[in-house]
Amino acid sequence: MSNATRPLRVGVIGCGGIAQMMHLPFLAERPDLFEIGALCDIDPRILEAMGRRYRVDRLHADRRRLLDEEVDAVLVLSGGSHAATVIDAARAGKHIFVEKPLGENIDEVEATAEEVERAGTLVVGYHKRYDPGYRFAREQVLGLRDLRMVRVDVLHPVDARARDHHWLDPPADASRSALAEEESTDGLEAYVLEGPPRRAIEAIVGAGAPSAQKVATFLLFNSLIHDINAVRGILGEPEEVLLAEVWRGGRCMHVVLRFGEGVRCALSWIYLPGLHHYKEELLFLSPESRVCLTFPSPYYRHFPSPVTVEVMEEDRLVRREVTVSMEEAFRAELHHFHACVTRGQPPHTGIADARADTLLLEKIARACRT
């Protein structure tokens, strides 16, 4: 930036759910750090509503028009693969914050990397890595001498039911919401097999792969990616995918990874549409201590991520629960992005994370057995 004392002028590409629930409110609450200069969305109802709500008059249906605006940086918050948008933004000379996944296969990520490495800052939005509870848990785990096992459990409700407490534009259609409650009518399989994700998924597992494997691949890249990244952020890179099993049409999966020093990591992602309660837990097991990190739903603002630490003191088991902070991870990552652009801090989650995650997710997807 030519003037580090003025707010970072940003353009937002994609003004749907996560932008409305998290990013736009956190940008607007700090006018000393950010100025929302332009908005882009393909839905005119969303675009006009967000323009009114945030008093932005530079509104575009085409991302290229937004990239022509005088903004320092762009936030890419649209759904699906973000590779093409990030490439356009890099070529336009913008600093970039992009929600995960950067790309939906390694070819997309590598094509993006070529452009980004010649441009400005790129921060990939793995918000859990910025969570104060995660950072505390990471310190505890890295201090263990004999980590043996990691267990990750994600119990996932219908996505829309986890965010009903937010007002989103346009308001949800009641009849469509009812259809989303049933696996037979929610449209996920048709979207994966026939919609925009199809091409990238088939580049990984092949056009002839079972439909359940394709659905699981989509969920790997759009949900379990967060937990894969969180585990990698503590343990580094795994040595082998030992097991990848999917069932319920790809909506349930169990993955076992082998890390160095004899460590195993088991990750389970289970879809539970009738139970409107999100649960995500990472458990690290050692003879010295058990460390458990519990993430709240990503759609709750300022909910803490408690860390439970169990140790032996003399002959007594001592269990303490630590709430590190009420700081919101989504806000923390945006403030980190600001620091990267204005002060030259290196990105905490950048292109290297996106590349490593994608390579591992592809290995898991190809190993899936139905």
| b/e map 102-128, b = 16+ CB within 10 Å | bbbbbebbeebbebbeebbbbbbbbbb
The reported pLDDT for the residue numbered 113 is 92
Q: Phi and psi of 310, rounded to 5°?
A: -115, 130
The reported pLDDT for the residue numbered 161 is 86
**pLDDT over threshold 90, residue 9:** yes
On whether the CB atoms of residues 15 and 24 are closer than 8 A, the answer is: yes
The owner of tokens 């929600």 is 99
The reported pLDDT for the residue numbered 126 is 98
Segment 2-14 shows an average pLDDT of 84
Report how far residue 126's alpha carbon sits from residue 226's, in angstroms, rounded to the nearest whole number: 7
Q: In percent, how much of the chain has pLDDT > 70?
A: 99
Segment 5-9 shows an average pLDDT of 92
User: 3-state DSSP call for residue 346?
Assistant: coil
Architecture of domain 8-126+331-348: 3-Layer(aba) Sandwich (3.40)
* Residue-wise pLDDT tens digits, 63-91: 999 999 999 999 999 998 999 999 999 99
* Residue-wise pLDDT tens digits, 231-279: 999 999 999 999 999 999 999 999 999 999 999 999 999 999 989 999 9
Report how far residue 184's alpha carbon sits from residue 272's, in angstroms, rounded to the nearest whole number: 14
**pLDDT over threshold 50, residue 47:** yes
* Residue-wise pLDDT tens digits, 287-314: 999 999 999 999 999 999 999 999 999 9
- Please, what is the average pLDDT of the chain? 95
- Closest among 338, 286, 280, 318 to 133, alpha carbons compared: 280
**pLDDT over threshold 50, residue 1:** no
The reported pLDDT for the residue numbered 179 is 86
Give domain limits for the chain: 8-126+331-348, 130-328+357-367
**pLDDT over threshold 90, residue 98:** yes
- Identify the band that residue 100 occupies on the pLDDT scale cut at 50, 70 and 90: very high
Q: Phi and psi of 245, rounded to 5°?
A: -125, 140
- The superfamily (CATH) of domain 130-328+357-367 is Dihydrodipicolinate Reductase; domain 2 (3.30.360.10)
- Closest among 213, 227, 226, 222 to 365, alpha carbons compared: 213
* Residue-wise pLDDT tens digits, 273-287: 989 999 999 999 999
Chain mean position to CA 95: 19
Q: Give the amino acid at 303.
A: F
Tokens representing residue 302 in the block: 């300022």
The reported pLDDT for the residue numbered 189 is 97
The structure's pTM equals 0.95
* Residue-wise pLDDT tens digits, 317-369: 999 999 999 999 999 999 999 999 999 999 999 999 999 999 999 999 999 99
The reported pLDDT for the residue numbered 181 is 87
The reported pLDDT for the residue numbered 2 is 43
- Identify the band that residue 174 occupies on the pLDDT scale cut at 50, 70 and 90: confident
The reported pLDDT for the residue numbered 4 is 55
Segment 145-172 shows an average pLDDT of 93
